[in-house]
A and B are shown apart, each in its own frame.
Chain A
Amino acid sequence: MRLKALLLLTGGGVVLRALLGLWPGLALVSDPMLVLAVLAALPGRMDRALGAAVLAGILQDAWLGRWYGEFAFIYLVVVFFLSLFAGWVDLVRPLSTILALAAATVASWGLQLGLSAAFDHPVADLPGAGVWLGAMAVNVVLGLLARPVVRRLKGYES
């Protein structure tokens, strides 16, 4: 993915983030920046995925006030393993994309909890299975809606 495509992708993520923020329910479970970082990782180019993850992460960190760098770190880890996996399986196919988005959502929440434990930070009770499934479903839908647009970006799969 070229730099211009990367900037367009993350710019779109910021707009989407702000749009979803208008609805409290969706803001709670959706993570459009994670979705875009995952979509950037699917073609399997690890170096470009790294740039997308860090850029999406620091933009996400701008408004989610725990520690600056938290989401950049989480997206980096998620994207690293997805890029590795993309070396063996074609993750650009629809079914693989769905599985990747669902797994990334769970991994992101798990890493948030892990970092909280590591830094001895208070957390709420874990949400129920319904909330986790809801978050996975919302992010998968966002990813599937964004996928055709992202694939049209010049240099996405090169």
Chain B
Amino acid sequence: MTQRQVTLLYLATALVLLALMAAQVQREDSGTALGNFTRALTAPVVGAVSWVGASLSSAWHGYVALRGAEEENRRLRRELSLLQARLARRESQALENRRLQMLLDLRQVDPFARGTVARVVSFVSEGPLSRAVLVDRGRAQGVGQDWIALQGAAVVGRIVHAGASLSELMLISDPDSGVAARHQDERFAGILRGGNRGPARWMPLEYVPKDKPIAVGDVVVTSGLDGLFPPGLLLGWVRSIDDASPLTWSVAVEPAFDASRLEEVLLLPPARATGPESDAGESSRAGER
């Protein structure tokens, strides 16, 4: 091939790729048949490498753990006797709580009944533009599009591509992400965007009117208005408030989940799939700083 022909081939390929992208932007969809095919093709490699990595890490941690086991054993025995005493007290409180709930006829809904635990097998984030991880659960395990992920009581993100056995989990810090949020105590709503603003990678909480009281350290939880995340799940803590805009506060929120420590997540179906939920705020209150 002459250089002129090769240059034309480059140009033609570039135009095809641009057209492919433009079509996806119009459809607001990034899942193409070719994408699904290459994802299925590479999934076994990603899964195998992750399995080997996790096995080596587990063997090493097992060896390290054995070395300090004796001292840890003594310490744990001391803690156990203390905890047994506390447990006895808590059990009597739980019984009392149950009796009171029956009296009030509270409806018991467990939003976590259909949850499944997934292991983070790979970080696929690239540059400043996306924040995503791969998890080892997919359609074969019943996990689908828009399932949500939690780390403890903290919201991590949602599934954007559910593969056969691996799924892509977009973190709430991704620039594309937006979560319907609420101030835990004052109950006003806002939208928590991704985007990693500023040096500390905080996330902007948008549409907070200036007549609403807000302070650094306040807790932000999900509102449930987006139909994905059940209400009351912990999103993060207010870390800075700026009055740059005349009508709304510019609020920066530190996410409650820690991306550098993401090893396992709890996957749950989206709120719209599970029906009316009880406010999960009690669990997030435990995470207040």
Contacts and interface: CB of A to CB of B under 8 A. Distances in A.
Contact of A25 (B32, B175, B260, B262): B260
A21 B35 contact: no
Interface string B24-53: 110000111011001101100110111001
Contact of A124 (B41, B128, B134, B262): B128
The 6 closest A-B pairs by CB, nearest first: A21-B122, A27-B123, A18-B49, A62-B38, A73-B17, A69-B20
Q: Classify chain A's interface size.
A: 35 or more
A23 B38 CA distance: 23
A64 B124 contact: yes
Contacts of B160: 65
Nearest to B160: A65
Contacts of A119: 21-22, 25
Interface stretch (A94-102, A108-116, A148-156): A108-116
A124 B131 CA distance: 10
B80 to A, nearest CB: 35
A80 B18 CA distance: 16
Given A65-B30, A69-B17, A73-B18, A47 B6 contact: yes
A112 B20 CA distance: 16
Contacts of B31: 68
Interface stretch (B8-16, B209-217, B242-250): B8-16
Interface stretch (B69-77, B195-203, B231-239): B195-203
Given A119-B22, A125-B197, A127-B127, 13 more contacts: A22-B50, A27-B124, A27-B126, A29-B127, A47-B9, A61-B38, A65-B161, A73-B18, A109-B128, A113-B129, A123-B128, A124-B128, A126-B128
A117 to B, nearest CB: 11
Contacts of A68: 20-21, 24, 30-32, 34-35
Nearest to A87: B3
Interface in A31-89: 31, 46-47, 50, 54, 58-59, 61-70, 72-73, 76-77, 80
Nearest to B199: A128
A124 B38 contact: no
Interface string A110-153: 00110110010111111110010001000000000000000000
Contacts of A115: 21
